[in-house]
Amino acid sequence: MKLMQFAGAVIAFALFAGAQAQQPIVIKFSHVVTDDTPKGKGAIKFKELAEAKTKGRVKLEIYPNSQLYKDREELEALQLGAVQMLAPSVSKFGPLGVRQFEVYDLPYIFPNQQALDRVIDGPIGKGLFKLLEPKGIVGLAYWSNGFKEFSSNKPMKKLDDFKGMKIRIQSSKVLEGEIKALGAIPQVMAFSEVYTALQQGVVDGEENSISNKYTQKMHEVQKHITLSDHGVIMYAVIVNKKFWEGLPADIRKSLDEAMAEASRYERSIAQKENDDALEKIKKAKTTQVYVLPPTEKAVWRKAMLPLYREYEGVVGKDTLQAIEKTVSQSSKKK
């Protein structure tokens, strides 16, 4: 009888272990924008590819629009392993103690998307990812959301127009310096709080990609947009290091392939998503859209140029010089 019981227990355990083994590995992917954005669509594409390439051994749960965590919280949640994957803006790594990523925030440092792509796809981009590893984070890819534009309830056509304006920014020291260099007052705020803060006049304006402005309905509470292209919204797709290194090698390989494909897709749709959003804002007739002329753009750029030297200690002199060199090479190539 004892033998039968033992055999039964062994079979039951084997069945349980088998069932456990068949349980998919769950990846919680949290982010702060809507599904209808370059990042939102990139995450959905990654889910499709990751689940297909691992034949269902991985299940991706996407939590968009700050459903699970707001800006700062999501990085803490990743480090704790409460979520496995994020794609925050690179302007938000300062609170983690990795301010070197703010080199991407220097105004007008990237004259166009090609120059930016050369930097993020090369040794500079990879080198910056290495700085995340001591924080328990692995950088998998860079995603893009185009160039930043200013919006406000007051026109922004001249530098003087910024005097005393309260402008919402992401948690970046370089962006703080940028807004002060324009004569305005910077206010750090989580992305999910921006719409209400604009609506209630807590802040007068903000800087962001057009896709983010449109999908967060900011145009409904902003009378003016100035197309200044003064900076970029860029993302680092990151994963909890312990989780990533604990994955079976074949799964990690499939996820790497899925991420590479999803990244190509995300970066290929970013510009069109922003162009389409601008058309929708124009159609909505809620906001006056002003294209900053090159002459005035040069004035703004000159006013913000001292930031490069002012923050080279924060972002890393070598990294800054390497980016400036790569950017000048890419403009020569054109």
Contact residues toward ligand LMR (CB under 6 A) are 32-33, 89, 145, 170, 191, 208, 212, 233
| Single-letter amino acid code for the residue at 282 | K
**Nearest-CB residue to ligand LMR?**
89
65: left (phi over 0), alpha (psi -120 to 50) or beta: left
- Closest separation between CB of residue 276 and ligand LMR, Å? 16
Q: Which is nearer to ligand LMR, 64 or 316 (CB)?
A: 64
Whether the Cβ atoms of residue 187 and residue 168 lie closer than 8 Å to each other: yes
Radius of gyration over alpha carbons of the chain, in Å?
A: 22
Whether the Cβ atoms of residue 99 and residue 170 lie closer than 8 Å to each other: no
List phi, psi (to 5°) of 210: -65, -40
Q: Which is nearer to ligand LMR, 51 or 142 (CB)?
A: 142
User: What are the distances in angstroms from CA 288 to CA 124, 143, 152, 219?
Assistant: 38, 29, 10, 9
Q: Which is nearer to ligand LMR, 51 or 178 (CB)?
A: 178
- Closest separation between CB of residue 89 and ligand LMR, Å? 3
Structure token digits, residue 288: 């006056």
- Closest separation between CB of residue 142 and ligand LMR, Å? 13
Whether the Cβ atoms of residue 94 and residue 102 lie closer than 8 Å to each other: yes
Q: Which is nearer to ligand LMR, 84 or 212 (CB)?
A: 212
Q: Distance between CA 276 and CA 154 in Å, rounded?
A: 24
- Closest separation between CB of residue 298 and ligand LMR, Å? 26
Q: Which residues of 307-326 are buried (b: 16+ CB within 10 A; e: fewer)?
A: bbeebbebbbeebbebbeeb
- Closest separation between CB of residue 215 and ligand LMR, Å? 9
Q: Which is nearer to ligand LMR, 167 or 247 (CB)?
A: 167
Kindly give the residue spans of alpha helices, DSSP state H, lying in 182-248.
194-199, 210-215, 241-245
What number of other Cβ atoms are within 10 A of residue 269's Cβ? 18
Q: Distance between CA 222 and CA 153 in Å, rounded?
A: 5
- Closest separation between CB of residue 22 and ligand LMR, Å? 35
- Closest separation between CB of residue 174 and ligand LMR, Å? 14
Q: Which is nearer to ligand LMR, 168 or 241 (CB)?
A: 168
- Closest separation between CB of residue 270 and ligand LMR, Å? 11
First vs last C-alpha separation in the chain: 83
Q: Which is nearer to ligand LMR, 145 or 274 (CB)?
A: 145
Q: Which is nearer to ligand LMR, 119 or 175 (CB)?
A: 175
